[in-house]
């Protein structure tokens, strides 16, 4: 093992339905455990691995960044990536590996994240998207719902959009850079970028968006929900399988 103070950052994508979130748990499959298992097969040691986010059980990732100390690695990052992919046994893949400075941290160096929530909006189910979108049979008029994005964008106390039981109780202010929707035929996607997210924040935003789609919320109501700070005033927490961590910014 060489002395190297640098970090190696791995950029992953994974199918969340195979995992109970990122963080290692007893008797449960997690992304962190699978990453460490694969690295141990490659390196002969089991390195500590730190991730950029504690994604929930069932949530997917198009881009997830984690890091380990370079001192454990005796091969170039690209070779590590290839060896990792040859040894991982779950629906998980690494598509980039690179050296980072010693002070890099996958979580604390992160400047922001973008999530996407997907709705299959049709009169019929799509069997190919059952595990990757939430089925909504009633029409979502995404253009008429632009006010939702307008009202959540900006710096706010998002306590009303945080699940009860969260360990965060005092720092609930976040800055949302954008909340926008795209429709591709029957697929409606919500993109949300912020400097950070509270527990289940995007899923609650998605559930609140659906309340507006059903006509239960009008222009100005989202702002009032934020101002109330009460979780009960926001919509239900949308199901995890429609959510993807889409991009991580450094």
Per DSSP bridges, beta strands 187-194 and 243-249 are unpaired
- Please state, in angstroms and rounded to a whole number, the distance separating the CA atoms of residues 141 and 136: 12
Radius of gyration, alpha carbons of the chain: 19
- Please state, in angstroms and rounded to a whole number, the distance separating the CA atoms of residues 68 and 48: 6
What does the block give as tokens for 100?
């980072």
Active site residues: 56
What does the block give as tokens for 57?
């059980």
Q: Torsion over CA of 147, 148, 153 and 158, rounded to 10 degrees? A: 140
Q: Which of 158, 160, 191, 162 is nearest to 175 (CA)?
A: 158
CB-count exposure of residue 238 (10 Å: 0-12, 13-18, 19+): buried
CB-count exposure of residue 53 (10 Å: 0-12, 13-18, 19+): buried
């Amino acid at each position: 093992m060489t002395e190297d103070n640098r970090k190696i950052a791995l950029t992953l994508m994974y199918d969340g339905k195979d995992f109970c979130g990122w963080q290692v748990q007893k008797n449960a499959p997690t992304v962190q455990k699978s990453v460490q298992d694969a690295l141990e097969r490659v390196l002969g040691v089991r390195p500590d691995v730190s991730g950029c986010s504690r994604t929930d059980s069932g949530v997917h990732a198009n881009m997830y960044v984690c890091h380990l100390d370079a001192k454990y690695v005796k091969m170039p990052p690209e070779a590590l990536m290839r060896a990792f992919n040859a040894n991982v046994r779950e629906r998980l893949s690494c598509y980039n590996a690179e050296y980072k400075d010693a002070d890099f941290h996958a979580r604390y160096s992160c400047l922001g994240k973008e999530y996407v929530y997907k709705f299959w909006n049709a009169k019929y189910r799509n069997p190919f998207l059952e595990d990757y979108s939430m089925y909504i049979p009633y029409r979502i008029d995404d253009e008429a719902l632009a006010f939702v994005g307008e009202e959540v964008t900006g710096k706010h106390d998002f306590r009303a959009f945080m699940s009860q039981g969260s360990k965060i109780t005092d720092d609930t202010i976040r800055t949302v850079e954008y909340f926008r929707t795209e429709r591709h035929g029957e697929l409606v996607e919500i993109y949300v970028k912020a400097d950070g997210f509270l527990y289940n924040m995007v899923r609650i935003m998605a559930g609140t968006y659906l309340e507006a789609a059903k006509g239960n919320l009008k222009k100005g109501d989202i702002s009032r929900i934020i101002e109330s700070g009460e979780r009960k005033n926001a919509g239900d927490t949308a199901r995890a399988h429609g959510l993807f961590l889409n991009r991580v910014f450094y």
